[in-house]
Structure 1
Amino acid sequence: MFPSQVTEFFKSQKTPFYYYDLDVLNTTLDEIKKHGLSKGYHVHFALKANNQLKILEIIREAGLGADCVSGGEVQRAIDAGFSADEIAFAGVGKSDEEIELGLNHNIFCFNCESPQELEVLNELAGKQGKTAKIALRLNPNVEADTHKYITTGLNENKFGINASDLDAVLEQLPELEHLKLIGIHFHIGSQIQKFTPFEELCKKANALNDHIEEQGFELSVINVGGGFGINYEHPNDNSVPDFERFFGLFDKHIRLKDHQQLHFELGRSVVGQCGSLITKVLYTKYGQTKNFAIVDAGMTELIRPALYQAAHRIDVLTSTKPEEKYDVVGPICESSDTFRKDISIPKVERGDLVAIRSAGAYGEVMRSAYNLREANPSIYSDEI
């Protein structure tokens, strides 16, 4: 929860706003360094999870690289001080302008997702007289056992190259003289809480690694992506994911060759627990079968519940009254603008402050101006 002085500070601020606990972020980064970077693994932070400059600068200083999925994210990584040779650029629909931006900065690697993308990248690199380093994003067809909208490694997903098409792509590559294949890339999904999918990924990655090198290619990068989940139900007791077990699994099951290095692209597990959305109760409404707590944050500030049916923990910061059941809803003119239904929380009144927890990832980055909503500045723990 939040210390009393933090809650008192919140009372003087205009809601809703995002609050970032930098102690949680730094503790998380320490665990990544201890169990991942110390093994020589490379971790690229996924900017799609959080692109706040202050957050990115802390992550960069901890020794992580950047994982980008748009030209805007590539530029933001550069602006945050990430070295270009630490930036991986993924994405199924890179525009010519985005590719040219990556080429202009001589980024570490383009993670390529289709034969036609390879042709376009080769053409654009040729126009600049450059050779682009690439990794093939392959679909290992591993079931991530997560929400269907954030499963990305199956054959029917729009992402990546299916194994059945791999040999044709390998035959195509020698003709693309402005590309250099340096690795293979995987990403099977997001918010994965079981370890079995990652074990299965290792098996598939090992087999594909062997197959590609048997065709005469030398891979220096094995990029297993990210997707490691967080505990949304108990953020206080589980503020840092079990990175020892996560990295230990790959240490045990992935088979690297002497000339290869293991890369990860972690997002949610790095920043998810350090962020909270602070909002204020505008009205309470008591019906025959439902009670509503109407807050001033909505799906414009945090769309995950509406988009993914995500359940974030909700803490009332200014009430110790007996609990009542509420639907906690926002002010947006959409029935889906609901954070939680039938949740038991201390009885709230107009003006009470509420924290929607575990919102550091895929929260502020997905904010919209729908209903012409204005955004309030974020607040960081070192400012209080």
Structure 2
Amino acid sequence: MSAHSQHNLPPSLTGKGATLALDGHDLVRMTEEHGSPLFVFSERRLRGNARALRDAAKGGHARARIFFASKACSNLHVIKALREEGLNIEVNSGGELWKALSAGFAPGEIVFNGVAKSVPEIELALGHGIQSINVDSAFELSRIAQVAAGMGKRARVTLRLVPGIGGGATAGIQTGSEKSKFGMGQAELKEALATAKANAAHLDVAGMHLHIGSQVLDLPDFLESVRFTAEQAKAIGGELGKPLQHLNLGGGYPINYVHHNPGANAGREFDYTPYTATQSAAAMLGEVAGAAAKALGPDAEIFFEPGRAVVADCALLLSRIENVKRRGALQWLFLDAGYNLLIDAAAVRWYYHMVNASRIDAAPDTEFRMVGPLCDSADCYFDVEGEYLWADLQATLTGVAGVTPEILAALKAKVVRLPETRSLPAATGPGDTIALLDTGAYTLEEMFQYCGRQRAKAVMIGTDDRIVTLRDRDRPEDLLDAAERQGIVRTVAAE
């Protein structure tokens, strides 16, 4: 049986004898050369995703533009490649704006999002004359007007609204309702429009913006956002006496994190549905762009802000097994990568598919508990909090009239967010390399040094098959800040 049929791998991943290969490169050998843990990116996949999304948007609406949500991955090598593929960029801070400019993006290719922009950040954006500042509140609009007046400039802004549309696989990534911290409701919009009219000399309301969440799986949610945009754009344009120049429909397009097929790394009682994308991001975006062309017309530009869909499946994380224990009937395997490298595994119990890169020719026929190296019980690849909560709920509900086994099973699927075990070959053990798939988004920028763990190295396999270093592994001295390093120097000198 082939590696693809056993593990349901994407086309860029193949078996190379007993080991896993990405774009034809032996991944186990790469850990021997570059160390572990190690992020490995595929430039072919990155550029392919960018082209697919760009072409889908243009195919649906002639004036569509893709602004990559750089918070997903702002590594300079990555965003330079995306610029070369014709993508624009969305930033969320002065730091990301600086990186975008450093990568060669022109000011007109940048939009500035975010919920708490400082005066220096607004000054930076206005000083460079970027495409637009996405305004998150009536207060922020007043602040922008004041800064623009002080600089003698007219700020080009976009009003971010709350559409009241729920989207996203978990509550923490749903941004389309007033339960989230993002955007303006109708009462605040009224206040913002009054501010815009009173400060017309320094504010140019060029567009409106919304974003309903991340990993949105249902096309109807996106189509409803188009309807909302059409309605609100007409009302805002009427209030201001001019049509809006662009309409920003945000991002949130999904990828399939699950790689699910019967018997392959599937917790038998775990409901994967929240994480399974049944339609490609490009196909969904193309349909939304087509709907926008009909509902919004050909005149206004249409902006999209995908992030995860561009970079998530471009990378994997290689991690070596360093220890093994047995708890009852189950073996526990200890990786050298924990939530210090994949914070979403702990913060929102995100699922990352695992395969044994050292034994890709062997069937994943044995269940293991998978944990990380940190001195923290939450550093695990199962839902420790959910499992404890479920045990309490089950004890409370068992025997209660009307609570059927079916109800209990449905509740467990909601409470326990991750599979309790992972299926790997029976011989899996210390020294083997585990590949955690789809780790290109929200990882490199979110690593930290808890327990003195050094942040991982990241490399990219180029389209020419050369290996490029995206970031070096931390050195021991990187665990110290400048003041600490000076203290060490002073102490050594005194001795």
- Shorter-chain TM range is over 0.9
- CA distance in 2 between counterparts of 1:245 and 1:376 reads 34
Matches within 5 A, 1:275-286: 275-286=315-326
* 1:311 and 2:351 aligned: yes
Tell me how far 1:209 sits from its aligned partner: 1.0
* Contact 2:163–2:225 (CA under 8 A) maintained in structure 1: yes
Counterpart among 129, 135, 147 of residue 170 in structure 2: 147
Tell me how far 1:250 sits from its aligned partner: 3.1
Which is greater in Rg? 2
1:363 equivalent in structure 2: 443
* Contact 2:31–2:38 (CA under 8 A) maintained in structure 1: no
Tell me how far 1:211 sits from its aligned partner: 1.0
1:6 equivalent in structure 2: 26
Matches within 5 A, 1:21-100: 21-38=42-59, 39-100=62-123
- CA distance in 2 between counterparts of 1:48 and 1:212 reads 29
* Contact 1:18–1:377 (CA under 8 A) maintained in structure 2: yes
* Contact 1:24–1:239 (CA under 8 A) maintained in structure 2: no
SS for the counterpart of 1:12 is helix
Q: CA RMSD in A?
A: 2.1
SS for the counterpart of 2:438 is coil
Deviations 1:50-93, CA, capped at 9 Å, x for gaps: 01111111100011111011111000101111111111001110
2:41 equivalent in structure 1: 20
- CA distance in 1 between counterparts of 2:195 and 2:56 reads 38
Tell me how far 1:246 sits from its aligned partner: 2.3
- CA distance in 2 between counterparts of 1:42 and 1:272 reads 20
1:212 equivalent in structure 2: 236
Tell me how far 1:171 sits from its aligned partner: 1.9
Deviations 1:283-305, CA, capped at 9 Å, x for gaps: 11111143211010110111111
Counterpart among 321, 325, 330 of residue 372 in structure 2: 330
Deviations 1:134-159, CA, capped at 9 Å, x for gaps: 00000001011521000111022111
* Contact 1:315–1:356 (CA under 8 A) maintained in structure 2: yes
* 1:228 and 2:253 aligned: yes
Which moved further from structure 2: 284-293 or 108-117? 284-293
* 1:199 and 2:223 aligned: yes
Counterpart among 362, 378, 384 of residue 458 in structure 2: 378
- Listed as ranges, the gaps of 5+ residues in structure 2 are 1-12, 14-19, 262-275, 383-419, 468-495
Deviations 1:240-294, CA, capped at 9 Å, x for gaps: 9341332223312552244311000110000110011111110111111432110
Q: Which has the higher helix share?
A: 2
SS for the counterpart of 1:92 is coil
Counterpart among 282, 285, 306 of residue 246 in structure 1: 285
* Contact 1:44–1:66 (CA under 8 A) maintained in structure 2: yes
Counterpart among 424, 431, 448 of residue 345 in structure 1: 424
* Contact 1:140–1:163 (CA under 8 A) maintained in structure 2: no
- CA distance in 1 between counterparts of 2:316 and 2:374 reads 20
Query: What is the percent sequence identity of the aligned residues?
Result: 28
1:273 equivalent in structure 2: 313
Matches within 5 A, 1:117-128: 117-128=140-151
Q: 1:167 to 1:257 in 2, by over 3 A?
A: farther
SS for the counterpart of 2:247 is strand
- CA distance in 1 between counterparts of 2:362 and 2:216 reads 36
- CA distance in 2 between counterparts of 1:186 and 1:325 reads 43
2:196 equivalent in structure 1: 173
Which moved further from structure 2: 337-346 or 61-70? 337-346
1:186 equivalent in structure 2: 210
- CA distance in 2 between counterparts of 1:111 and 1:252 reads 23
SS for the counterpart of 1:378 is strand
TM-score (norm 2): 0.74
- CA distance in 2 between counterparts of 1:5 and 1:166 reads 53
Paired AA for residue 380 in structure 1: M
Which moved further from structure 2: 32-41 or 364-373? 32-41
Paired AA for residue 259 in structure 2: H
2:484 equivalent in structure 1: none
Tell me how far 1:111 sits from its aligned partner: 0.3
Q: 1:259 to 1:253 in 2, by over 3 A?
A: closer
SS for the counterpart of 2:156 is strand
TM-score (norm 1): 0.95
* Contact 1:284–1:294 (CA under 8 A) maintained in structure 2: yes
Paired AA for residue 333 in structure 2: A
Deviations 1:323-373, CA, capped at 9 Å, x for gaps: 321121111122221124311111322111111111101111211122222
Q: 1:253 to 1:36 in 2, by over 3 A?
A: closer
Which moved further from structure 2: 246-255 or 336-345? 246-255
- CA distance in 1 between counterparts of 2:236 and 2:322 reads 59
Tell me how far 1:102 sits from its aligned partner: 1.1
* Contact 1:331–1:337 (CA under 8 A) maintained in structure 2: yes
